[in-house]
Amino acid sequence: MIRKKALLTALALSGSAFAFAALPAATPALAAGDAIRDLTLIARDQGANPQAFQAAQLIAQAWGKLGLNVSVRGLPRLQQSELVWYNRDKWDMTMWQMVGRPERSDPDELVYNLFHSSTAESGYNFIGYKSEEFNKLAEAQRVETDKEKRRELLRQAQAVLDRDQPNMFLVYPKRSFAFDNAVFAEDSVVEQPGLGIKNIWSYLGAQPLGDQKDMILNSTDPLNAINPLYISGATDSWVTELIWDRLLRISPEGLAEPWAAESFEWIDQTTIDVVLREGMMWHDGNPVTVEDVVFSFEVPNVGDEVPMYQPFVKNIESVEATGDRTVRFKLKGPSASFLTSSLAKVNLTPKHVWEAVIDDLANRPENAESHQEDLPIGSGPFKFVRWKQQEEVVLEKNADHFSPPNIDRWIIRIVSNTEATVSMLRSGEINFLSDYNGDPEVLADVADKDGDIAIVSSTDIGFQYATVNHRRPPFDDVAMRRALSLAIDRNLMVAAAWNGSAEIANSPVSTALSYWHSDDTDAISGSLEEAQQILKDAGYEVIDGRLHYPDGIKETLEGP
Amino acid sequence: MVRVVNRLLHMLFVLWAVATIMFFMFRLMTGNPLAAYIDTNFTLEQQEALLVQFGLDKPLWQQYFIYIGNLLQGELGQSFFYRKPVGEVLMNAFPNTIVLTMGALVVAYLFGIPVGAYLAWKRGTWIEGVGIPTVLATRAAPEFWLGMILLAVFAFNLGWFPSGGANTAGAEFNSEFARFTSVDFLWHLVLPALSLALYLQGLPLLLMRSNMLEVMQEEFVTMARMKGLSEWAIIMRHAARNALLPVVTTFALSIGLSVGGNVVVETVFSWPGLGRLLVGAVASSDFPLAQGAFLLITLVLVSMNFIADLLYHVLDPRVSHGSNN
């Protein structure tokens, strides 16, 4: 489709060239189409994401130099989502972001869901990018179980995105975390690429140095739920992954490795045998059995009671216990991300607790997401103690676990005021800064004065980007998108908007995922002249400072 | 008695009106509650299932009758965000807000009343010249700014008080009562209550002052002076007592007004109260929770109005004589 359009544009161009040759007296202005309408770039309001808002203003300026009239409009998150998601043909440009999560250590989720055509109608491809070539690569990498080959497919997919510029990726932000190194031994805190020190390996490994054996963290947002069958807010997932075990876990190196499973073995491309670790117990004292494992992977497909986990078990044909400690999974088709996005994602859920709940829910409109256990029961390295909404969640060490933590309690405080978190870190009200959106320099200053605060800053798996609506011309034109992307000076952006704490981005696979990230995409850099040349070559023309469509193209849409 | 019943009926009417306005306001507002749940794996089926769960798939009028029907049975519905009954979510936050409000109000009134009386007595002196602008400036200063200043000074620099929350991390108590009366809780309460009190003190202070100025013109004060009583005795025993009446009734009104107005202070001090809950609910289009919170605030407000009204009749018989005519 896009090719066809480019061809037509080229034809139109050569046509107008002929016209020039034949009629040298004709005024050049007649060779251009309509002026491009005024455009609005939507961004989160300044207070909510000051960096992205500043970036949006720099972008609007840069695009202004191309002859577009772009104004920035700040919106609260929900209004932005509402417009971009539920009014897919009503907006032109928006800023957006993806955040890092452990399961995004596998590139599949972000590569496939953001750009595959199947998600354009109602899923996350809200920009409406459609490329058969990309679809094929995205599908192929999903089923390729040979790691090397899969990497090659992902490189090709990233190259297509680099060429088509569906989004204008800006930066992979660096996130700052900090902890009190008088409380925890500095070398016992683990950094996981893309996630920083806020990960289960830190919580398990952190070695208390003195009497303070509680790790006290912070979160800006309150929790929605603590439920093994519900993927809710980000903070919720920090808690659920500690209470509930998974068969595999993402290691600090970003690979899915045995956890509750002692081992696993691929029998063929669609069959995998898993051996359950011996002697595991639920927090209520019952043993963890293979029936529990089978239940955990079957329950998302029971009616519509566990909708959020359905995508992660969709590819499972059958799961059955083949012995006291062995389970066999049969898949519908080969899947490269099965280890990461199924075995390391699905929580092991006690059948004796949840079976009756699910049965009961079958006759009611609510689903499992509405069921909040008073005392959540998992088998993980931490046990649930209490949850005080808007205040804190307290977990305690599960000494019987096969990988028990060194700390006694893991407490997450809900702190709505970002500035106060730094003060709390200093006073010891918290000793692990796990959620910080403030100025990194303020944090560095405080750490300097305090002397006992270690700061760790890591490049995120997530990224910040600007994007355009492919359903609305001229953004269906690759040349236009390439020009828009090249006009952005990403280095300036890193320095001016992110205060230097970010890396420039041009791929949905972060540099933090060094194995999967394609270095070939790193070449993108800002050059206004190049962008202007691309537009010129594609037939766009600047008249009186205003960019016009190529010859013969009418503006069919209205500006704001 | 008829009057009391009348007032109660009024109250019910106000509650119904607020419930109805809230119901339609949230639903007619632009904003799709599903927008809060957008995720990379969010499919169309999930979106539809969510609408059914939230009861938003039914026509508006039907939703409204279900809502009112539930309200009559004391059911506020289920929070979209917490997936828990709204009543339960509200009751977790409400006591914290009441304690904060009451604490701040008591401080504000204990300070405002005597100082107001004193400033009236010192009318025309330099004390008034300094006092009144100070009071006005503190009252006019934005609460979040006051809060941040208190935080910066007393928490960050001096380290005397904690920087947020209602209890130390992981603190355990046998009962809610034990928690509210613990040193730990009171220690956390100081800064937020003080910020709020700084804002609230203006009303009783200025009201007390103007009442005093009026009372001081009355003949019985002149009489007291003629009797040669000490200044202190005249202020406290004669003038202040008479000037206090309207201030007492505003206390009840203030409870109602400030319960809903603590949003800023609660956010600055990460206080687990109703105001923060309300902001979160509105921001995430959690209709049932936002409606419930507003309704609860309205209920406190109208009840306090009602109490202030009754109190007035008890304290000042002249008022009830007037209304009976």
Percent of chain B with pLDDT over 90: 30
Q: Are A425 and A178 in contact (CB under 8 A)?
A: yes
Q: What is the Cα–Cα distance from B198 to B218, expressed in whole angstroms?
A: 32
For residue range A17-68, what is the model confidence (pLDDT) as tens digits? 444 444 444 444 456 889 999 999 999 887 777 888 999 999 999 999 999 9
Which of A455, A476, A502 delimits the end of a domain?
A: A455
3-class secondary-structure state, position A534: helix
Same domain? For A185 and A287 the reply is: no
pLDDT over 80 (residue A121): yes
CATH of the domain at A274: 3.90.76.10
For residue range A151-177, what is the model confidence (pLDDT) as tens digits? 999 999 999 999 999 999 999 999 899
Same domain? For A209 and A276 the reply is: no
Nearest residue in chain A measured CA to CA from B45 = A307
Between B217 and B260, name the one with better pLDDT: B217
Nearest residue in chain A measured CA to CA from B150 = A420
Q: Are A179 and A166 in contact (CB under 8 A)?
A: no
pLDDT over 90 (residue A401): yes
pLDDT (0 to 100) of residue A557? 86
Q: What is the Cα–Cα distance from B142 to B180, expressed in whole angstroms?
A: 28
3-class secondary-structure state, position A311: helix
pLDDT over 90 (residue A14): no
CATH of the domain at A225: 3.40.190.10
Q: What is the Cα–Cα distance from A70 to A488, expressed in whole angstroms?
A: 14
pLDDT over 50 (residue A4): no
CB < 8 Å to A79, chain B: 30-31, 35
Is residue A511 domain-resident? yes
Q: What is the DSSP letter of A209?
A: -
Q: What is the Cα–Cα distance from B32 to A78, expressed in whole angstroms?
A: 8
pLDDT over 70 (residue A256): yes
Is residue A354 domain-resident? yes
Q: Are A256 and A229 in contact (CB under 8 A)?
A: no
Q: What is the ipTM of this complex?
A: 0.84
CA–CA distance from B271 to each of A86, A117, A520, B83 (Å)? 35, 45, 49, 22
pLDDT (0 to 100) of residue B245? 80
Same domain? For A124 and A18 the reply is: yes
Same domain? For A422 and A437 the reply is: yes
Confidence of residue A116 (pLDDT cuts 50, 70, 90): very high
Angle, nearest 10°, between helix axes A290-298 and A351-361? 30
In this structure, the number of other CB atoms found within 10 A of the CB of residue A536 comes to 13
For residue range A355-365, what is the model confidence (pLDDT) as tens digits? 999 999 888 87
Between B246 and B133, name the one with better pLDDT: B133
Interchain CB distance below 8 Å, B283 and A78: yes
Same domain? For A14 and A156 the reply is: yes
Q: What is the Cα–Cα distance from A161 to A151, expressed in whole angstroms?
A: 15
CB < 8 Å to B170, chain A: 214, 216, 392, 394, 409, 411
Is residue A556 domain-resident? no
Average pLDDT on B2-7 reads 83
> Per the structure block, which two tokens stand in for A253?
């190196």
pLDDT over 80 (residue B40): no
Q: How many CA atoms lie within 13 A of A284 on its CB side?
A: 12
Q: Which amino acid is at A299?
A: V
CB < 8 Å to B159, chain A: 427
Look at phi and psi of residue A102 and say left if phi exceeds 0, alpha if psi is from -120 to 50, else beta.
alpha
Angle, nearest 10°, between helix axes B126-140 and B202-215? 140
Q: How far is B99 from chain A (nearest CA, A)?
A: 16
Same domain? For A206 and A102 the reply is: no
Same domain? For A401 and A451 the reply is: yes
Q: Which of B149, B261, B154, B151 is nearest to B203 (CA)?
A: B261
SS in 3 state form for chain B? CHHHHHHHHHHHHHHHHHHHHHHHHHHHCCCCHHHHHCCCCCCHHHHHHHHHHHCCCCCHHHHHHHHHHHHHCCCCCECCCCCCEHHHHHHHHHHHHHHHHHHHHHHHHHHHHHHHHHHHHCCCCHHHHHHHHHHHHHHHCCHHHHHHHHHHHHHHHCCCCCCCCCCCCCCCCCCHHHHHCCHHHHHHHHHHHHHHHHHHCHHHHHHHHHHHHHHCCCHHHHHHHHCCCCHHHHHHHHHHHHHHHHHHHHHHHHHHHHHCCCHHHHHHCCCCCHHHHHHHHHHCCCHHHHHHHHHHHHHHHHHHHHHHHHHHHHHCHHHHHHHHC
Which of A401, A431, A455 delimits the end of a domain?
A: A455
Between A336 and B186, name the one with better pLDDT: B186
Our CA dihedral for A527, A530, A531, A533, rounded to 10 degrees, sits at 160
Looking only at the bridges linking them, the beta strands covering A546-548 and A541-543 are antiparallel
For residue range A174-222, what is the model confidence (pLDDT) as tens digits? 989 999 999 999 999 999 888 899 999 999 999 999 999 999 999 988 8
For residue range B266-280, what is the model confidence (pLDDT) as tens digits? 999 999 999 889 988
For residue range A228-239, what is the model confidence (pLDDT) as tens digits? 998 877 788 899
Please list, in sequence order, all residues whose beta carbon lies within 8 angstroms of the beta carbon of residue A167, skipping any fewer than 6 positions away. A96, A114, A127, A161, A465, A466, A467, A508
**C-alpha triplet B149, B154, B160: angle, nearest 5°:** 165
Least trusted range by pLDDT, from A10-14, A93-97, A175-179, A304-308: A10-14
Q: Are B267 and A47 in contact (CB under 8 A)?
A: no
Q: Which of A114, A372, A427 sits opposite B163 (nearest CB)?
A: A427
pLDDT (0 to 100) of residue B226? 85
Range of the domain at A136: 7-172+461-548
pLDDT (0 to 100) of residue A7? 45
Average pLDDT along chain A: 89
Is residue A446 domain-resident? yes
Is residue A120 domain-resident? yes
Same domain? For A333 and A378 the reply is: no
| Number of domains making up chain A | 3
Q: Are B242 and B71 in contact (CB under 8 A)?
A: no
Q: What is the Cα–Cα distance from A299 to A352, expressed in whole angstroms?
A: 13
| Helices (H) then strands (E): counts for chain A | 17, 20
Q: Of B171-175, B212-216, B312-316, where does the model show the most confidence?
A: B171-175
pLDDT (0 to 100) of residue B41? 72
pLDDT (0 to 100) of residue A96? 93
Between A355 and B232, name the one with better pLDDT: A355
Average pLDDT on A90-113 reads 88
Q: Are B89 and B289 in contact (CB under 8 A)?
A: yes
pLDDT over 50 (residue A514): yes
Same domain? For A420 and A337 the reply is: no
Is residue A422 domain-resident? yes
Q: How many CA atoms lie within 13 A of A170 on its CB side?
A: 31
Nearest residue in chain B measured CA to CA from A116 = B40
CATH of the domain at A134: 3.10.105
> Per the structure block, which two tokens stand in for A287?
């043993």
Same domain? For A135 and A29 the reply is: yes
Confidence of residue B46 (pLDDT cuts 50, 70, 90): confident
Which of A409, A425, A455 delimits the end of a domain?
A: A455
pLDDT (0 to 100) of residue A402? 97
Between A142 and A288, name the one with better pLDDT: A288
Rg (CA), chain B: 24
pLDDT over 90 (residue A106): no
Angle, nearest 10°, between helix axes A147-164 and A108-115? 40
pLDDT over 70 (residue B305): yes
Interchain CB distance below 8 Å, B30 and A82: yes
User: Tokens 């043993």 appear where?
Assistant: A287
pLDDT over 70 (residue B318): no
Is residue A559 domain-resident? no
Q: How far is B30 from chain A (nearest CA, A)?
A: 8
For residue range A435-469, what is the model confidence (pLDDT) as tens digits? 988 888 889 999 999 899 999 999 999 999 999 99
CB < 8 Å to A424, chain B: 162-164
Percent of chain A with pLDDT over 70: 94
Least trusted range by pLDDT, from A54-63, A190-199, A549-558, B47-56: B47-56
Q: At A397, give phi and psi (nearest 5°).
A: -55, 135
Confidence of residue A119 (pLDDT cuts 50, 70, 90): confident
Interchain CB distance below 8 Å, B270 and A416: yes
Average pLDDT on A386-391 reads 92
> Per the structure block, which two tokens stand in for A12?
């139109």
Q: Which of A85, A392, A416 sits opposite B169 (nearest CB)?
A: A392
Same domain? For A41 and A139 the reply is: yes
pLDDT (0 to 100) of residue A12? 46
**C-alpha triplet A264, A268, A269: angle, nearest 5°:** 100
Q: Are A468 and A481 in contact (CB under 8 A)?
A: yes
pLDDT over 80 (residue B261): no
pLDDT (0 to 100) of residue A406? 97
pLDDT (0 to 100) of residue B319? 63
**A interface test, pick of B27, B29, B38 with most A CB neighbours within 10 Å:** B38
Q: Are A73 and A42 in contact (CB under 8 A)?
A: yes
**A interface test, pick of B26, B29, B41 with most A CB neighbours within 10 Å:** B41
CB < 8 Å to B263, chain A: none
Q: Are A454 and A446 in contact (CB under 8 A)?
A: no
pLDDT (0 to 100) of residue A81? 84
Is residue A558 domain-resident? no
Nearest residue in chain A measured CA to CA from B171 = A394
Q: What is the Cα–Cα distance from B81 to A233, expressed in whole angstroms?
A: 9
**C-alpha triplet B35, B36, B39: angle, nearest 5°:** 85
Same domain? For A236 and A253 the reply is: no
Name residues 1-20 of chain A within 8 A of B (Cβ): none
For residue range B129-166, what is the model confidence (pLDDT) as tens digits? 898 899 999 888 888 889 999 999 999 989 999 999 99
pLDDT (0 to 100) of residue A25? 41
Confidence of residue B250 (pLDDT cuts 50, 70, 90): confident
pLDDT (0 to 100) of residue A134? 96
Average pLDDT on A500-525 reads 89
The separation between CA B281 and the C-alpha centre of its own chain, rounded to angstroms, equals 18
